[in-house]
Amino acid sequence: MGISYLIKHLIPYAETVSLGKPTDQGPPCVQSVVIDGPSLVYHVYYRLLAWTDPTCDVLDIQPTCDEVSRGVRDTRLARIEKSRHRLELASRRNVSPEHEYRTETLFQPVQLWQTRNLPARWRNLPENPFMVSAVFEDLRFRWNKRSILQEFEHRSDLPLAEAEFPWAGVTVMVPGEADIECARISKLHGSAVLTNDSDLLVHDLGPHGAVVLLNSVHMIAGAPDLAGSEIRGLRLHPSRLSDRLGFVNLQRFAYELTRDPHRSFVELLRRSKEDSGKVEQSAAYIDFIREYQHNEPTGAEKIQRVQTCDPRVSELFWQYEQPDVYCCAEQPHMYLGILHEDHSRRCAWEQGRFYRAIGYSLLNLSRSDPHMLSVVHEFVRRGGRIVAERVTLGRAETTASDLSILQKRLDLAQTTFGQRTQSSFWVLFALSEIYRDSSNATTIPDAIHLGRFLEKGFMGNRTEWADIHLMAQIQALLYSLRVLKQLVEITAEKISVQHRFILADLPPLHVLMRSRHQIVECFSINGLAHNSVCQLLKVYG
C-alpha cells in the first residue's frame, strides 16, 4: 500500500534518468533494474483504465486479465478493506442503462507510455483480483516468440530476445511480499527498483540501490523505431537523500510521517533528526521497522516448487513451509480478493469453498503430524466488513472422498454438456455448481433469464446488480478450482495416482476468467445458449 505522502515530499529531490543503453548526451543511465511485479501490473491496469472508452458502463469497465496481460497481515487487511470500501462505493451507483456491455478494447502499445488522468467516476472501482496471477502465468508460460509475433503481426521490427520465452527467466514468484525481495536484490546488486510502492524507499537498499517510479516512466518521442526509443523516468536514491537532507536514514523520516501524515516537510525533517537514540529504541519504532527487515534468502529448490502457483497459493505454501517467518498468527490464512459483486448479498466466495477446502486439506496432509493444523482462515467480505472465516481441514479419508466427488461431478458435466470449447464448458460447470447449491435457490435465474444472460450479458433488459453478482459467483467457483489444481500439483507425491491430474484440463486464467462480452460471443451462436440452459436445468435444476 505504501506510506501516504512519502513520495509527494521526496519527489522534488528526484533526478531524471534514462533506462537502457547509455548515451553520449542526456541524463544518467540505469542499466540494471529489478521490477516489482504486482506494482507493474497495477500500473498497466490503471493506464488501460484511463484509456478505456469513457462511454462504457461503469460496472463493466475493468480491463480483463487478458487485456492487462497483453499490456503486461495488517497491511494486507488494510489493503483488502480498501478494496471492500471501493466495492461499497461502486454499489451506490446506478448501472448505466444505455450500454449492454463493453467489447474488447484495442490498445496501442504506445498508450502505456503516455500519462492520462483517470476519470473521477472510475477512481473507486474495485480492481480485478486475478490480474497479477494472470500476468505472472502469461509471462512464464504464454508469451513465447510465436505468440508475441501473432499479437503484433503488423510489426517486423520487434527486438525479441533469443530465448523462446523471453520473460520466463526473469519472472519469479518469491516468498512473502514482493517489495522485500526487490529490496534485497537491489541492495545486493545496486539495482534500481521499478515500482510505484513508496515502501521500497523505506527498505535498506544499500549505498547504491534506488527506486525508479513507474508513474514517471515515459518514452521520448522522435525515435525512428521502437528499438531506438529512449525511456526515461524519475529516480529516488534513499542513501543520497539521507546525506543531502541530513538524517541518518529514510526510515526515521517515514516513521515520523506515519505518526502524523499532515505535518509539514520542514517539521518532519526536524523531527527526523532529534532524539534519534530514544525514538529508535522505542517499541513503536521497532514495530514499524519490522515490516522492512529482510529475511534470509530461501533455498532455490523450495522456491522452484511454487513457480507455477498464484501469489495467494504461494503465500499459503510458505506459511506451512516457514511458519516462524510467514505466519504471524496461530493458523495459516488466505486473503481472497474483493470480487466485483452485489455488496448487499452473500459474498460470492461462498461458491467454491468446498473445493478450496480440499486444496487446503491436501497441503495440510502433506506435512508431518507435528506440523499439521486444523483450520485455515479465509479473509473475505461479510456484509460491510472483512472477517476471518474458519475453513475446517479434512482428514485423509475425507479429502480422498471429496476428490472422488469432484471427479464424479466433472464426469457428469462432460456427459451433460458434451464437446464444448474450454471457455464454454467451464462456465457451464460453474453454473451447474451454483444451481446445485441449495442456498442459492431463491436467487438463481430461471431458464429464460439464464438464457438471456448467456446470449446478451444480462438477464433483464439491461445490466443489473444480479448480473454482476452472477458473474462474480462464476469467477469465485472457477478460481477455487484453480486453487485446488495448484495445491494438487504441489502435493502430487502424496496423492493417489487417480487424482493427480483431476483438473489437468483447467485452462490458464486469461481463458478461464472470460469477460461478459467473451461469454456472449461464445454462447450467442447456433442456439448454444438455449441448448446449454435446457441441458443444465434438466440435470441440475
- What are 281-290's pLDDT values in tens digits? 899 999 999 9
Residue 102 predicted with pLDDT over 60: no
Cβ burial of 314 (10 Å; 0-12, 13-18, 19+) is buried
Q: Which residue has the higher pLDDT, 164 or 346?
A: 346
The answer to which of 47-51, 94-98, 338-342, 407-411 has the lowest mean pLDDT is 94-98
pLDDT in the model for residue 73: 45
C-alpha 137/C-alpha 156 separation (Å) is 26
Residue of 179, 176, 147 lying closest to 164 (CA atoms): 147
Q: Are 192 and 212 in contact (CB under 8 A)?
A: yes
Q: What string of DSSP letters covers 454-492? A: HHHSSSSSS--HHHHHHHHHHHHHHHHHHHHHHHHHHTG
User: Could you tell me the pLDDT band of residue 160, with boundaries at 50, 70 and 90?
Assistant: low
Residue 193 predicted with pLDDT over 50: yes
pLDDT in the model for residue 78: 52
pLDDT in the model for residue 93: 54
Q: What is the number of other CB atoms lying within 10 angstroms of the CB of residue 338?
A: 27
Arithmetic mean of pLDDT over the chain: 87
Q: How large is the average pLDDT for residues 450-468? A: 93
Q: What string of DSSP letters covers 82-109? A: HHHHHHHHHHTSPPPSS-S-PPPP---G
pLDDT in the model for residue 179: 92
pLDDT in the model for residue 47: 86
Residue 405 predicted with pLDDT over 70: yes
- Phi and psi angles of residue 355, each rounded to the nearest 5 degrees, phi first: -75, -35
pLDDT in the model for residue 91: 58
Q: State the number of CA atoms in the 13 A half-sphere of 317 facing the CB.
A: 25
C-alpha 309/C-alpha 207 separation (Å) is 34
The alpha carbon torsion through 76, 82, 86, 89 (nearest 10 deg) reads: 140
- What are 477-502's pLDDT values in tens digits? 999 999 999 999 999 988 988 899 99
Q: Which residue has the higher pLDDT, 32 or 1?
A: 32
Q: State the number of CA atoms in the 13 A half-sphere of 136 facing the CB.
A: 22
Q: How large is the average pLDDT for residues 232-247? A: 94
Residue 98 predicted with pLDDT over 50: no
DSSP state of 200: G
pTM for this model (two decimals): 0.90
How long is the chain?
Answer: 541
The answer to which of 85-94, 118-127, 253-262, 356-365 has the lowest mean pLDDT is 85-94
CA–CA–CA angle 20, 21, 27 (5° rounding): 80
- By DSSP bridging, strand 375-382 and strand 333-335 are parallel
3-state secondary structure of 292: coil
